[in-house]
Chain A
Amino acid sequence: MKPLALNLALALLALALFLASLAVGPAELGLSESVRGLFAGGGEAASIIMREIRLPRALLGLGIGFTLGLAGAVLQGFLRNPLAEPGIIGVSAMAAFGAVAVFYSGLAGAALYALPAGALAGALAAVLILMALAARNGSTLTLILAGVALSSLAGALTALVLNLSPNPFASYEIIFWLLGSLKDRSIEHVWLALPLMAAGWLLIALSARAIDALSLGEEAAASLGVHLGRTRFLIVAGVALGVGAATAVAGTIGFVGLVVPHLVRPLTTRMPSRLLLPAGLGGAALLLMADVAVRLVLPAGELNVGVLTALIGAPFFLWLVVRARREVF
């Protein structure tokens, strides 16, 4: 497929699902009513539902999905590893732990920004640790190993907090948050996360040439003029900003970053930089689709979107492992 046609098709798909996300919800709003609610001012119910409930949710679905798809694609290219995903460098686990620590301290109820701030602090800590480790030894393998270790540590610390949590209700709230959801987010969440995610996208875009060269290994890439240290910084910082911000407002949403690059890669030339935009758009489409699905499947209880993406993602992951043995990437 021609790159332009592919990007256009995926952008249209994401847009359609964005509109679908605006149209779906427990409140029975007609189409014209929704549109009027979105654009007309005033305090009527339709306007409040559209502007304060559905629009933030759809915007976050779009932005977070784009971030996760993009982050997955850039990490797979950078680490030359088809099993890489945003979680692999430990940023999402550390962000989740940061948020959980805020829950535990009881500050979460005190201010809207306390929870995201905790998550961002966790993501920042992850970046600092990764950079300190990776700066000493340049190889991407060090980065993967450090990320895996960091993920395990963050997971253990999160479990520790759950263990120590004062009452079952607090544990329940933490677990629910960890499952990842776009429900009941406000426009403030959008303003908090979107600029950080956009900054992450920019840093990742700057590494596009380098990840192409890295398909030939680190030595060949360096001989092509790629500055490996700078590339590593751009990618780790970009992924941390994007995924940290995403986790801060929506909890951990797994598998989008792993699955989407593999879904769109066969439609591209497989040049890592050519995968970035399609993977971002595909990620936005997939997350919006999942978020619409959770509202339609169980309208009353409402499944967490992170659960749904993991339910789809885990079998896909298994299939991927089987395929990877045949080396068809």
Chain B
Amino acid sequence: MLPFQVTNSPFNEEQVELLNRLWPTLNSAQKLWLSGYLAATESVGALQQEASATKEVTVLYGSQTGNAQKLAEKVGETLKHRGFHVTVSSMLDFKPNELKKINTLLLVVSTYGEGEPPDNALSFYEFLHSKRAPKLDHLRFSVLALGDTSYEHFCKTGKDFDKRLEELGGKRLYERVDCDVDYEEKAAKWLEGVLGELDKQGAISVATTSSAQAKPTTIYSRKHPFQAEVLENINLNGRGSNKETRHIELSLEGSGLVFEPGDALGVFPKNDPELVDAMIEKMKWNPDILVSIEEKEEPLREALLSRLEITVLTEQLLQAFATFSGDPDFHALLSSEQEAKRKEYMKGRDVLDVLCDFGSWEMTPQQFVSSLRKLQPRFYSIASSLLAYPDEVHITVGAVRYEAHGRLRKGVCSTFCAERLHIGDKLPVFVHQNPNFKLPKDTHTPIIMIGPGTGVAPFRAFMQEREAIGAKGKSWLFFGDQHFVTDFLYQTEWQTWLKNGVLTKMDVAFSRDTKEKVYVQHRMIEQSKELFRWLEEGAAVYVCGDKQRMARDVHETLIHIIAKEGKMTSERAEAYVADMQKQKRYQRDVY
């Protein structure tokens, strides 16, 4: 301990002398007691002064080598001693949405490489610098920047944060301090300054940002979809994956749309321009010619892109086309005797195939579009909870692409999302309620979630919801996909939920990592004893994803487990499952 001096302490000469006499005589327990006592009396005084004020401070760090983290933790300790409620977190672990709820923010952040943010600050940095960054009028902040003057971009990340927080409306609590490699002294000064300001200004109460949102005048629905702005669109599959799964975040701000976990989102896609152009080209039509759809006129190309279904063949469509073709082969295919052959033909083919496979077309653009069905919305299980992401909705979209009949075929909506939907674009959406896929009313009820592939989407919403309401029930997730390294959808989020206990248990099966393919049902069997115990405790089981194989296999496995562990016949096991269904303890969202 350095001796107290008049120059570096707030004490007068006499006090300094007394302190210097007293201090060396104290043992560490006495010192600790004293610091606690002083802090406590200090905070009692503060509390009395501003009885209704909260004293919450959030300290976020972005750290590459650990220095910023250590400093942030020290800052947190000091503030705690002064009676503040402090949250210290890495920028990576901090949910950006929380920004709306906090009023005092301290950043301790270093700069890495050529002026880049440290790894664990990157996503927060990008969020704040993106269009999604919220207004921060309610926020006061101060930045401690760590750096190294031997680098060109000294303390750049800290400077960027400082500037950006101000741009977003934040008030600077205390001027930013930039530190060189020997940061200790300057950091201490900064903390002192911050503390001084906090004392002076008093901690302010949370500015309620419920700025009485203007009620939307339109009720959005399938008929009147809401034009949701795309906030984020990322591929969840790592490099080298066979798959592409898009995680899409949409803004619902101002829509008045609400939903619950388990509901689905209806999305209106646009057709592939390449496909549209190929049809127009084939028929040698003018793409700009006006056609009328539901008494509204628009150019042919536009209508085909966004109003009409061109990838699904139906019986009605083929019959409608019959009038316009003189091709005997086509008429032969349409005869009632050829039903089987016709069904086979329709599988995996689209309108362009019909136009190419058959000839002698005598069809105007208007006749063509009048024969086509209106473009239908696609439905996706919602992957977010409004409690965790107010004013947002997230979906998980697996891009469908396959080779058939000599051409690469693409799922309309999924590849539209994957290839042509950009941040800032507007996507027409509406909410589709699904009352048959809902969390138990009793938050203590254990839940078992089985969702391989994109089937995992609603369970992300479940976890967000259970975390937000502090549900006490146990939870267990079975997930599977092809490869661990590239296809573990939302991996880091499950890991966080496992760590903080929101998710009790997780089992994964990656089918192509081992010689023998492993699927979720195999993991269920491995755990059959415990799974049955959960069922006996009243757990609710949810299955989401592929209907054809997965849901069937999981269903059979469930019956098998109940029969084996419950020592009952398969008939009784089936009755057991039927009973669960009746009690809404076995719900499925399969497609």
Asked if A pairs with B, the answer is: no
Show the binding face of B for A, using Cβ within 8 Å: none
Show the binding face of A for B, using Cβ within 8 Å: none
